[in-house]
Amino acid sequence: MRSETGQDQFTLRRRPWSERSIDGGFRLLTILLASLVAVVLLGIFLTVFNGAQEAMASFGLSFLVTSGWNPVNNQYGAFTAIYGTLVSSLLALFIAVPLGVGTAIFITENLIPRTWREVIGVMVELLAAIPSVVLGLWAIFVMEPLLRPFLNFLHQSLGWFPLFSTVPKGPGMAPAILILVVMILPIITAISRDALNQVPQELRQGAYGVGSTRWIAIFNVILPAAISSIIGGVMLALGRAMGETMAVTMIIGNSMNFSWSLLAPGNTISAMLANQFGEADGIQVSALLYAALILMLMTFAVNILAQWIVRRFSLSYN
């Protein structure tokens, strides 16, 4: 482009019309695509909100705290499903976070030989590739029968405690929670692994250089440096767990009868929607959409919280 005669030619070169219009067109296209996302989001929200209005008018906020779900006399309360959604996803997190973060630590800190670390890493990623309907089948035919003796034991020894107060008979909250653990483990592991990998090597050396043991270095220096991204990942996983439908609906029992017990069949909002929407009519549709709206608001809140946490607590190393 630059010729022998000097720079003028270079600096004063006019961009041809075609090049400028391509630039402009591209800009327009990206704006269009970006706003499409917003439009779709808004559209979904408005549709759900509109559909839910009838139920909101007739049940009000008591919909959130009553548990009857009776299509015969059209009385609806979503408490069973809300309780199920919150309890199943929070307990799943409670189990999956130590497992996932622990796995990430094993993969990133050289505690075990590299080949083992890579094998474990690949296996966790493959876990994410299993379709949820397959996990659901596995839960029904393999996991739940294997789990039942243990759940029986829990009931027999801790039956006085509300969470274990019913006899486990098959599908229920407990196996649903475990299947959720399997489903969110890859996200938590992958995000924690990336977060730990981003902790500068110098920081690790600094920790070991003042005489830290492995555990002290990991728990006092490396994890705190990565914690904001890890929490962000955990919140994403929480959103995923609350919205997860297929595997859960296959194993949770889909019961709208409220029980505190984890050993009893239960329901989540997404499982309930998947099960009932097809046959619902009249105000039941509206009640389901009301529940869907609640679920959307819950996952929105979780996602916003995740972003806020990442921004608020992220550390800079410069």
Closest separation in Å from C-beta 316 to other proteins: 6
Which of residues 221 and 248 has its CB atom nearest to other proteins in the complex?
A: 221
Query: SS3 of 72, please?
Result: coil
Q: Give the C-alpha separation, 164 to 4, whole Å.
A: 86
Task: Write the binding mask 211 to 250 for other proteins: x where contact by CB under 8 A, - elsewhere.
Answer: xxx--x---xx--xx-------------------------
Count, residues near other proteins per rule CB under 8 A: 24
- With binding defined as CB under 8 A, does residue 45 bind other proteins? no
What is d(CA 67, CA 78) in angstroms, rounded to the nearest whole number?
6
Q: What is d(CA 269, CA 299) in angstroms, rounded to the nearest whole number? A: 12
Q: Does 205 sit near other proteins (CB under 8 A)?
A: yes
Does position 208 interact with other proteins (CB under 8 A)? The reply is yes
Q: Which stretch binds other proteins (CB under 8 A): 81-89, 146-154, 197-205, 237-245?
A: 197-205
Distance CA 234, CA 302 (A): 10
Contacting other proteins within 58-87 (CB under 8 A): none
Candidate ranges 59-67, 199-207, 236-244, 298-306; the one touching other proteins (CB under 8 A): 199-207
* Residue 197 makes contact with other proteins by CB under 8 A: no
| Residue 48 CA neighbour count, 13 Å, CB half | 17
Separation CA 269–CA 287 (nearest Å): 11
Asked whether 80 and 240 are in contact (CB, 8 A), the reply is: no
At its nearest, how many Å lie between other proteins and the CB of residue 113? 8
Least Å distance, CB 214 to other proteins, is 8
Choose one: 120-128, 169-177, 204-212, 297-305; the region binding other proteins (CB under 8 A).
204-212
Residue type, 200: P
Tokens of 27: 């800009």
Q: CA-CA distance, 71 to 198, in Å (whole number)? A: 53
**According to the binding rule CB under 8 A, does residue 18 interact with other proteins?**
no
Q: Does 5 bind other proteins (CB under 8 A)?
A: no
Concatenated DSSP letters of 88-152: HHHHHHHHHHHHHHHHHHHHHSTTS-HHHHHHHHHHHHHHHHS-HHHHHHHIIIIIHHHHHHHHH
Q: Classify 13 as helix, strand or coil.
A: coil
Tokens of 35: 């706003």
Of 94, 25, 88, 147, nearest in space to 271 by CA: 88
Least spacing, CB of residue 198 vs other proteins, in Å = 12
Phi-psi sector, 144: left (phi>0), alpha (psi -120 to 50), beta: alpha
Per CB under 8 A, 125 contacts other proteins: no
Q: Single out the residue of 57, 209, 282, 307 in contact with other proteins (rule: CB under 8 A).
A: 209
Q: Which amino acid is at 273?
A: L
* Shorter beta-carbon distance to other proteins: residue 109 or 194: 109
- Nearest CB to other proteins, comparing residues 199 and 238: 199
Is residue 56 within the footprint of other proteins (CB under 8 A)? no
Q: Which of 95, 163, 203, 280 binds other proteins (CB under 8 A)?
A: 203
Q: Which of 181, 204, 231, 290 binds other proteins (CB under 8 A)?
A: 204
Q: Does 210 bind other proteins (CB under 8 A)?
A: yes
Token duo for residue 126: 């493959």
Cα–Cα distances in angstroms (integers) from residue 151 to residues 2, 175, 236, 261, in the given order? 77, 10, 29, 11
Footprint of other proteins (CB under 8 A): 110, 114, 200, 202-213, 216, 220-221, 224-225, 315-318
